[in-house]
Amino acid sequence: MELADILFFIAAFVSEIIGTVAGFGSSTIFLPISLFFVDFKTALILVAIFHFFGNIGRVSFFKHGLDKKILVLFGVPSILLSVLGASLVGILPQPILKVILGSFLIIISGSFLFKPKLAFPADTKSVLFGGGISGFITGLVGTGGALRATFLTGFNLDKAKYIATAASIALGTDATRIPVYISQGFLAEQYYYYIPILFVTAVGGSFIGRRIVKKINQEKFKKIVLIAIILVSIKFIVDGIIQNPFA
């Protein structure tokens, strides 16, 4: 195992801790960091697998709180359009994907930074649209949890229902987009051994994050994380423009 591999797993572990403490998806944090170690497509599938493991745990712990109606209305379009988004990854050049990812993260992070209570109306139209657009974005750029949260928050679900429902939808999205990524050859054989290690880091990071969550001011911590994501995202946009495939 090389130093870059070790740093990658440390990044995964720290991202899971930060995601747990901050209260939003670890993939939103881990995906931009992972791009410093591997190419976009490899990062996409490894982070998806990592996210899948994390959601299995959340569904197992909170399955009693599942809201089946929202799961169907939000989950079905989310899963269907995540396949479409994942299919486009193999077509679009990586520099363009970096610009799309950076732009999305800046918009969503900036929105939460200046409007922490941002939420959409809790009606059927919003649920269907929210499920579809969040699923598509997740399949295309590998992270859509923050966007999913803005739509689900409007329903004022209690904590157990929210975690169970959001995790179940994310689990379904991950389970459908991962095979699409694999079919397009995103997971090279050299990364197979990453899978069990990512499982351990996901579980371990989540456990430690839950232990320290009460010791940190979550609102201030969340703002710091959002600002960091915006700064990293600016770098991806600049990199994507410099590497313009159409130049």
Segment 38-78, tens digit of pLDDT: 988 999 999 999 988 887 877 776 666 677 888 888 889 99
pLDDT at 186: 92
Q: Note whether residue 184 is domain-resident.
A: yes
What is the number of residues in the chain? 247
Q: Note whether residue 76 is domain-resident.
A: yes
pLDDT at 45: 94
Backbone torsions φ then ψ of 45, nearest 5 degrees:
-75, -35
- For residue 241, the one-letter residue type is I
pLDDT at 2: 85
Q: Note whether residue 247 is domain-resident.
A: no
Range of the domain at 225: 3-242
Listed as own residue / partner, the contacts of 117-126 with beta carbons closer than 8 Å and 24 or more positions apart are 117/153, 118/150, 118/153, 119/150, 119/151, 119/153, 119/154, 120/150, 120/151, 120/153, 120/154, 121/154, 122/154, 122/155, 122/156, 124/73, 126/151, 126/154
Most confident of 2-16, 147-161, 215-229: 2-16
pTM of the model: 0.81
Q: Note whether residue 172 is domain-resident.
A: yes
Overall number of domains in the chain: 1
For the segment 187-219, what is each residue's pLDDT rounded down to a tens digit? 999 999 999 999 999 888 888 877 786 777 767
Cβ-Cβ contacts under 8 Å for 80 (sequence gap 6 or more)? 132, 135
